[in-house]
Structures are given as structure tokens and as C-alpha cells.
Amino acid sequence: MKQPLCVKCRKTMSCHHTGINVIEIARSVGPYAIFSGDLFACTGCGYEVVPQYADLPIAMHHHTNFEATLHDVIYGNIRFLVSVERGAEIPENLKEAVEIMERAVQSATSGV
């Protein structure tokens, strides 16, 4: 894959973190699937993006171990992102975890 290009400052983005977890949230189901992807950061402004995921999910909502895997992703030490389908809402049980993760990322990248 070619390196993503930052539209804002026109610099290439480099892989900043591999194996980041992405929780997909569907309108009708809530947390639907968990994928692994690579986080790229702009070398100029620090903007971050996960340009692609693995072909197969780590877990899907109908798997028997989905709730346990979701819990491990949310409360583990690995950074995660939430991808929300248009019209869907982040479930209440995930909102606090998402806010904590966002604050931690903000403080860790405030010097970028």
C-alpha cells in the first residue's frame, strides 16, 4: 500500500501504530465487529487515520466470545477507535470508555 497523503498539509503519513483495534457500531445492532488496522499519522500536522482494516474481523457480534473480546478491547492497554455507522449512536456502556481513550490520546499527542 502506498503511504496515505494528508490533504490538509500535503505531506505523507507514516505508520504510527500497528494492530490498532477498530470497533464498528451498526445502527441496528450496536457494537457489530472488531477489526485490526494500522494507524497512520501525518508527518506535518499529526492528523491520524486508519486507512484500511484487515480482511477478516477479530470478532463479530454473533460470535459466542464477542462480549468478552469487546471488554478486552475497551479495558485493555491497546488503543482503540470507534467507527459509527451514519444514524447510529455509541451505546451508553461504551461512551465513558471512548471519552477516556480520547483524553488519553489527546494528552499523549499534545506535543505533536
pTM over 0.85: no
pLDDT at 68: 87
Residue with cell 490520546: 105
Residue 3 lies in a domain: no
pLDDT at 64: 92
Residue 8 lies in a domain: no
pLDDT at 85: 72
Q: How many domains does the structure of the chain reveal? A: 1
Residue 78 lies in a domain: yes
Range of the domain at 49: 13-109
Confidence band of 28 (pLDDT split at 50, 70, 90): confident
pLDDT at 112: 47
Give the three cell numbers for residue 106: 489527546
Residue with cell 459466542: 64
Residue 7 lies in a domain: no
pLDDT at 46: 87
Model pLDDT for residues 43-91, shown as the tens digit of each residue:
888 888 888 888 899 999 999 998 888 888 887 766 777 777 776 777 7
Across the strands, what pairs with 15? Answer: 40
Residue 49 lies in a domain: yes
Residue 2 lies in a domain: no
